[in-house]
């Protein structure tokens, strides 16, 4: 199962999930001059980052919005980036956050688990209800794919809906966590986690311990490290024997070349050093 592969990657290479949320504005001007087509520019920037970090990350997360915003050229770069990662034997999470009724979800599942945009795992929004997740289950159970439904996110707007309390006194994200963990029992790997994971931001340390107890079978994708204010101490409550989660950093790595401590380094060399620093930071907790 895909979760066993990801678990092993974390054992071997650490918890870093490198986010290729690549904005054109992140790319150094000098590098941009070498490419006329946007698709070539984006892909080759990503390729340099991947080549320099492949031995120090457990997986890559590619946020589709940065590519969709650039039309066909952007989606060509998105396709080529996913393909390059998978051809190199690495795991890729497509950060697409889909959530819709069954017939539409059937098409989203086909789009992101096969064909030009095939990924190993994808993010989903379950807030239309868990029937919106059902169309993806065939791929999870039969085609070595995985999903990360949003549970509790790291943005301030999480309090608008996710923290609302029900009549029973439970918060909305607590109920989503319970349902996600229960659904995950249908797709358990030998590592003790399910291929149905969950997205949990690391910027809310206060309820982390209880949330992890609820999500006992759930492998986590944790955003919020670095640029969003989270650090190793916020991540620690979610890990079990230094596994059970991958921690995403996007801007913190892609823009590392702008940091004073990496002055004079190429963007890819700076990305490597920042990736290793983050990996060691997480390994040290």
What's the pLDDT at 191? 97
Of 246, 251, 253, 238, the C-alpha closest to 221 is 246
pLDDT, one tens digit for every residue, the chain (285 residues):
999 999 999 999 999 999 999 999 999 999 999 999 999 999 999 999 999 999 999 999 999 999 999 999 999 999 999 999 999 999 999 999 999 999 999 999 999 999 999 999 999 999 999 999 999 999 999 999 999 999 998 888 889 999 999 998 999 999 999 999 999 999 999 999 999 999 998 866 778 888 999 999 999 999 978 755 678 888 988 999 999 999 999 999 999 999 999 999 999 999 999 999 999 999 886
End-to-end Cα spacing for the chain:
28
- CATH number, domain of 173, equals 3.20.20.70
> Residue 63 — φ and ψ, nearest 5°?
-85, 115
Domain that holds residue 271: 2-283
Q: Report the SS3 class of residue 31.
A: helix
Residues catalogued as catalytic: 97
The C-alpha R_g of the chain, in whole angstroms, comes to 18
Structurally, the chain folds into a number of domains equal to 1
Of 234, 210, 186, 192, the C-alpha closest to 11 is 192
DSSP E strand boundaries for 117-217: 121-124, 146-152, 194-200
Dihedral (CA of 188, 193, 197, 198) sign: positive
pTM: 0.95
At which residue do the structure tokens 């989270």 appear?
A: 230
């Amino acid at each position: 199962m895909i979760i066993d592969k990801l678990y092993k990657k974390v054992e071997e290479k650490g918890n870093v999930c490198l986010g290729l949320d690549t904005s054109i504005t992140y790319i150094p001007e000098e590098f941009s001059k070498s490419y006329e087509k946007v698709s070539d520019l984006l892909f080759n920037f990503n390729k340099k980052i991947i080549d320099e970090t492949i031995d120090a990350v457990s997986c890559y997360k590619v946020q589709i919005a940065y590519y969709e915003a650039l039309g066909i050229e952007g989606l060509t770069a998105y396709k080529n980036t996913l393909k390059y990662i998978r051809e190199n034997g690495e795991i890729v999470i497509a950060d697409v956050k889909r959530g819709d009724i069954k017939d539409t979800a059937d098409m989203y599942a086909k789009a992101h688990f096969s064909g030009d945009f095939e990924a190993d795992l994808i993010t989903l929004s379950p807030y239309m209800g868990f029937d919106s997740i059902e169309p993806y289950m065939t791929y999870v159970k039969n085609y070595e794919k995985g999903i990360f439904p949003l549970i509790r996110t790291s943005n301030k707007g999480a309090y608008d809906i996710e923290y609302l309390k029900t009549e029973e006194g439970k918060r909305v994200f607590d109920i989503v966590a319970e349902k996600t963990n229960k659904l995950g029992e249908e797709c358990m790997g030998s590592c003790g986690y399910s291929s149905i994971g969950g997205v949990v931001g690391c910027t809310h340390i206060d309820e982390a311990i209880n949330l992890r107890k609820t999500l006992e079978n759930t492998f986590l994708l944790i955003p919020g490290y670095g640029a969003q204010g989270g650090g190793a101490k916020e991540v620690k409550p979610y890990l079990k024997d230094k596994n059970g989660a991958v921690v995403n950093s996007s801007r913190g790595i892609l823009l590392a070349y702008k940091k004073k401590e990496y002055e004079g380094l190429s963007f890819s060399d700076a990305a490597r050093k920042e990736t290793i620093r983050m990996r060691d930071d997480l390994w040290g907790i």
